[in-house]
Structure 1
Amino acid sequence: MQNIIERLLQGDRRALARMVTLIENEIPQARQYLAELHQHTGNAHILGVTGAPGAGKSTLVTRLVRELRNRERKVGVVAVDPTSPFTGGAILGDRIRMMELAGDPNIFIRSMASRGNLGGLAASTRDVVRAMDAAGYDPIIIETVGTGQAEVEVMRTAQTVLVVVAPGMGDDIQAIKAGILEIADLFIVSKMDRPGANQTVAELAMLLSLDPKRKQVAWRVPILKTSALKGQGIAEVVDAIQQHRASLEESGTWLLRAQRQVRSELQTLVIQAVMKSLSASVTQEEWDTFIEDITRRERDPYTVAQELERRIGLKRE
């Protein structure tokens, strides 16, 4: 245990890769390692890149990593992909799309399957980010699945959220109206050389002007146009990311976001523990019986839930 921790803290890529594998496979020792590493984390700026499928997130991330490396930064990337319903693996792994970056020893890319988790993130994303943080990667970029309205989960993991929108994607604007608007720290209008880019910028500016919460905070969300294929606007995005971090630290919001993330993580860990206890206490046959009884209206779900709570010690007689 001590060996892998010491090697990881020294930035050993093999130790980090081994740790990430243990996390993804839910090996029990992984939590022991992560508990040991926790005191060495909290230094990395975690960036969330989200938006609808086809908006150009992967190409943008590749360009951002290049620009950050030009600025002598050691960059980690967690690319969360949709899950194959047949194999459970990641479809269109981003490591294939980012092969041009793979040879740089100061870049660590991991592609993960979402495995059906809502919110566009894999369940183990936080733990993988923590391992990268301990290994000295800063910033760490999380690219989400891109499922639209459920993407707000990235807000509970990243300090700076980039929402990517492509011109002409009317559905994307609809998704923003439905909730993504409030999580964006930066709006990126990708593919700026396409027709409609200026109109998309205008629509986003209008939406931001109508949000009363935005008028109460110091940070004014910028809307930046980029062409990742041509490399245009990328340096400006990295500058805006650094400005956002400075704003968070100056206003004290950095600490507030860290506390919000810890609260969310603790709740998730407790829920996972409850579900494991429930699985150990209730057989599949019992589940089937409960479901059949409730479906036939012979029992109600509220009474059954109370019975299960008592069984695992959540509710006293």
Structure 2
Amino acid sequence: MVDVPELVAQAREGRPRAVARLISLVEGASPQLREVMAALSPLTGGAFVIGLTGSPGVGKSTTTSALVTAYRKAGKRVGVLAVDPSSPFSGGALLGDRVRMSEHASDPGVYIRSMATRGHLGGLAWAAPQAIRVLDAAGCEVILVETVGVGQSEVEIAAQADTCAVLLAPGMGDGIQAAKAGILEIGDIYAVNKADREGADATARELNHMLGLGEARGPGDWRPPIVRTVAARGEGIDQLVEAVEKHRAWMEEHGALTARRVRRAAAEIETIAVTALRTRLADVHGDRRLAALASRVVAGDIDPYRASDAFLADLTGVGG
């Protein structure tokens, strides 16, 4: 058994091993996870979460690394969750954190963790919300969540981030991909990366046109800006950070930041509750109550919907 209070105290001191152990408890769905979350919750709320998403090959990792550099220059402690495809053999992340962002590996003000999706759709590991909470409690002021590049299922990042930045690149058909994937609805900021390549202007124009077509905004609503970057050279990163800060200020002014975080917490609660219920349902496969109701359905005494209501009421103790 892990000494959770001691581990949390060490994480608060910025000890990487303690942070890593806490995230491992989260990923492994440890029996002590409830104790961990209870200890962390009062310590959270100080971090700003930035999601980076986009099609494979647009330069998400390079942009993430450049943003880490920018925020470290500003004196911020930074956490990075890089969500990778799961290994078909081990279930672990295919790419290691040290390989992805080796230039920041020795910086004590940066914590980088690769997490595996483990087959979870949406581009995010199922444990990402709890892992974000660990980094928040550990004193990270900015948390960058980089999703696995899987295209149409990337939209889940919007539910986990305070600000969602969507990356595109010229010459990749990203305009069509953006429309198809639905990411035009989730982006708070759009970055045309690799803007030194031919076609960058056309990509920006196409994106601006598509955003205009989909607009249903009032005079005071946020309109996503389009920023051009060459992340490999650090160009445009300051403008990207400025766009993030402007979005944060707008959200705080309009109460949107708190509303977004409430929605995020609600989704997390729902996921935990549904998972617990699914586990309980799996445990009652072959239960006499289930068999008895099934017999009544076959006999025509009750329809399957009423049978389901009765079974759930019996299982949860709540009348249907």
TM-score by length of 1: 0.89
Q: For residue 33 of structure 1, what is the aligned residue in structure 2?
A: 36
- Assess, with a 3 A threshold, how the Cα gap between structure 1 residues 93 and 305 changes in structure 2: closer, same or farther: farther
Superposition deviation, residue 213 in structure 1: 2.7
- Looking at structure 2, the residues matched to 301 and 123 of structure 1 have their Cα atoms a distance apart, in angstroms, of 31
1:278 equivalent in structure 2: 281
Taking the aligned partners of 2:175 and 2:317, their CA distance within structure 1 comes to 42
Per-residue Cα deviation, 1:91-118 (whole angstroms, up to 9, x for no partner): 2334312111100000000000001111
Q: 2 CA distance for matches of 1:192 and 1:304?
A: 59
Kindly indicate whether the alpha-carbon contact (under 8 Å) linking 2:152 and 2:180 is maintained by their aligned counterparts in 1. Answer: no
Structure 1 counterpart of 2:21? 18
Corresponding position of 1:155: 158
Amino acid in structure 2 at the alignment position of 1:35: A
Q: Contact (CA 8 Å) 2:175, 2:206: kept in 1 or not?
A: no
Indicate whether 1:51 and 2:54 are aligned: yes
Query: Quick check: 1:208–1:214 contact (8 Å CA) kept in 2?
Result: no
Q: Take 2:219 and 2:247, find their aligned partners in 1: how far apart are those partners?
A: 16
Give the structure 2 partner of residue 297 of structure 1: none
Q: 1:189 aligns with which of 192, 199, 215?
A: 192
Residues in 1 aligned to 2:111 and 2:210: alpha-carbon distance in whole angstroms: 36
Larger mean Cα displacement after TM superposition, 180-189 or 170-179: 170-179
- Please give the residue correspondences for 1:141-290 in structure 2 after superposition, counting only pairs within 5 Å: 141-171=144-174, 173-215=176-218, 217-282=220-285
Paired residues, number: 307
- Alignment of 1:121 with 2:124, yes or no, is yes
Aligned partners of 2:219, 2:311: CA distance in 1, in Å?
45
Instruction: Give the TM-score, by structure 2 length.
Output: 0.88
2:35 aligned partner, one-letter code: Q
CA distance in 1, matches of 2:203, 2:257: 30
- SS state of the match for residue 80, structure 2? strand
Deviates more, 1:23-32 or 1:56-65: 23-32
Residue type of the alignment partner of 1:79: A
Measure the CA separation in 1 of the matches of 2:119 and 2:133. Answer: 22
Say if 1:312 and 1:227 are closer, same or farther in 2 by CA, change over 3 A.
same
Q: Hey, what's the Cα distance between the residues in 2 that align with 1:122 and 1:148?
A: 15
Alignment deviations for residues 51-96 of structure 1 (CA, whole Å, 9 cap, x no partner): 1111110011011101111111110000000112232121233431
Secondary structure at 2:132 match in 1: helix
SS in 2 for 1:6: helix
The answer as to whether partners of 2:153 and 2:181 remain within 8 angstroms in 1 is no
Alignment RMSD (CA, Å): 2.5
Q: Distance in 1 between matches of 2:318 and 2:89?
A: 39
Cα deviation per residue 1:171-218 (whole Å; 9 max; x = unaligned)? Answer: 553333441111101101011111110000001100111123344653
Contact 2:84 2:116 in 1 (8 A): yes
Residue 42 of structure 1 corresponds to 45
Percentage identity across paired residues of the two chains: 45
Cα distance, 1:246–1:276 mapped onto 2, change above 3 Å: same
Contact 1:188 1:224 in 2 (8 A): yes
**Secondary structure of the residue that 1:18 maps to in structure 2?**
helix
Q: Separation in 2 of the partners of 1:305 and 1:109?
A: 45
Q: Residue 178 of structure 2 aligns to a residue in which SS?
A: helix
2:316 paired with 1:313: yes
Contact 1:281–1:311 (CA under 8 A) maintained in structure 2: no
Question: Structure 1: how far apart are the matches of 2:145 and 2:98?
Answer: 13
| CA offsets 1:252-308 (integer angstroms, 9 cap, x no match) | 11111111111111111111111111122226xxx9xxxxxxxxxxxx986885676
